[in-house]
Homo-oligomer: A and B are copies of this chain.
Amino acid sequence: MQRKLPIIAINGVVDKQVSPLDRGFTYGDGVFETCCMVNAKIPLWRFHRERLIDSCDALLIPIQINIVEQYLQQLIEQVQSTELTNAVVKIIVTRGEGGRGYRLPDVINPTICIGVFPAAVYPEDYNNRGVTVRVCNQQLGSNTSLAGLKHLNRLEHILARAEWRDENIAEGLLLDTNGNLIEATVSNIFIVKDGSLLTPDLTQSGVAGVMRRFIMESVASQLNVEPVIKKLTLDDLYSADEVFLCNSVFGVWPVVQVVGEPACKFPVGKITSQLQQLLIKALNALS
C-alpha cells in the first residue's frame, strides 16, 4: 500500500469509520497506547501490552489482546516497510457501540483502532541540550480508579496544552488540585536530588507511562540508583539537581529551564546523560 501516513484501521479494516454510537466517541469510554516503532517493531511492546490489558481490566473492557496483536500485525503488513523504519503506532480500544446511557452494554464488542502515524519530529537539541518547560494553571483532579490509566478522558491535558503557543516551551508540568507535582502533558517527570532518582506517585492522578516504567525497572539499576516513587511538590522540583521528562516516543529530555515564577534553571545533569546512553543501548537490544 503506497500512500501517506497516517493509515488507520478499525477492527482490522483500513479506512473504516467509527459509529456515532461508539462509546469512545460518546463518552471517551476507552484507553489508548502510543508506541514508538523502529524497523516495523515496537521495542517496548511488552510494556504497552501489559498496560493495555491492565487498563482495560480496570475499566471492565473485555479486551482480547491476541486480537489486538493480530490486527497490529495485519496493519504492519499493509504499510510500506519504508514507512515503518520510524513511525508512531497509536492503539485505541473502546467499549464499542452502546445505547444512549452510561450503563454497560449487555454484550461488549470492543472497538480496536490502530493507526500508523509519521514519526514525531522534535528538535534534536531537545535530547541533547534539554528543554524549557512551564507550569500549567490547569490542574489534575484526583481519582484512584482512573489514576495511572492511559484512558480516553483527556480534557484536563487538552486544556493544559492549550495554555501556551510559544514554540520555545516544549512541555507543560501538571500539578494536582493539592499542589502535588504529577507529570507533564505528554510525559512523565523524574528529578535527581542528592544522587536519588525521584518520580511522582501516580496513585491519585496522572498517566503511568511505559517509558517511566522501563526506566525504573530496566535502566536505573544500571546507574546504581534506586528509583523512588513519592509525593513531590514544586519545591522539590525547584531544589532538584537534575530534572528530566520521558515518554515512549521522545525518550528522555533533560529539563534545563522552568519559566515562570520563580524562574529556575538546571544543567543537563550527569545522571540524566548517563541514563540517556543506557536507555539507547537498552532499546537497541530490544529492537
Contact residue among B88, B140, B185, B205 (Cβ-Cβ distance under 8 Å from A102)? B185
* B158 contacts A145, C-beta separation under 8 Å: no
Q: How many copies does the complex hold?
A: 2
* A158 contacts B92, C-beta separation under 8 Å: no
- Whole-angstrom distance between the Cβ of A13 and the nearest chain B Cβ: 11
Interface membership of A141, Cβ < 8 A: yes
Interface membership of A159, Cβ < 8 A: yes
* B102 contacts A161, C-beta separation under 8 Å: yes
Interface membership of A41, Cβ < 8 A: no
Interface mask (A142-179 → B, CB under 8 Å = 1, otherwise 0):
11111000011111111111100000000000000100
* A143 contacts B154, C-beta separation under 8 Å: no
For A101, the chain B residues whose CB sits under 8 A away are: 161, 186
* A142 contacts B142, C-beta separation under 8 Å: yes
CA distance A160 to B162 in the complex (A): 30
Interface membership of A29, Cβ < 8 A: yes
CA distance A19 to B6 in the complex (A): 12
Contact residue among B24, B100, B120, B153 (Cβ-Cβ distance under 8 Å from A88)? B100
CA distance A103 to B170 in the complex (A): 12
The answer to whether A158 and B104 touch (CB under 8 A), given A28-B28, A138-B145, is: yes
- Whole-angstrom distance between the Cβ of A127 and the nearest chain B Cβ: 18
Interface membership of A22, Cβ < 8 A: yes
Interface mask (A262-275 → B, CB under 8 Å = 1, otherwise 0):
00000000000000
Contact residue among B139, B152, B155, B161 (Cβ-Cβ distance under 8 Å from A151)? B155
Nearest first, the 4 closest Cβ-Cβ pairs linking A and B are A28-B28, A141-B141, A17-B17, A153-B153
**14 A–B pairs (Cβ distance < 8 Å), ordered by A:** A8-B21, A17-B17, A25-B113, A28-B152, A60-B159, A60-B162, A102-B161, A138-B145, A140-B143, A141-B141, A141-B142, A143-B177, A152-B155, A153-B153
Binding site for B on A (CB under 8 A): 6, 8, 10, 16-29, 32, 34, 59-60, 88, 90, 92, 94, 100-104, 113, 115, 117, 120, 138-146, 151-162, 177, 185-186, 205
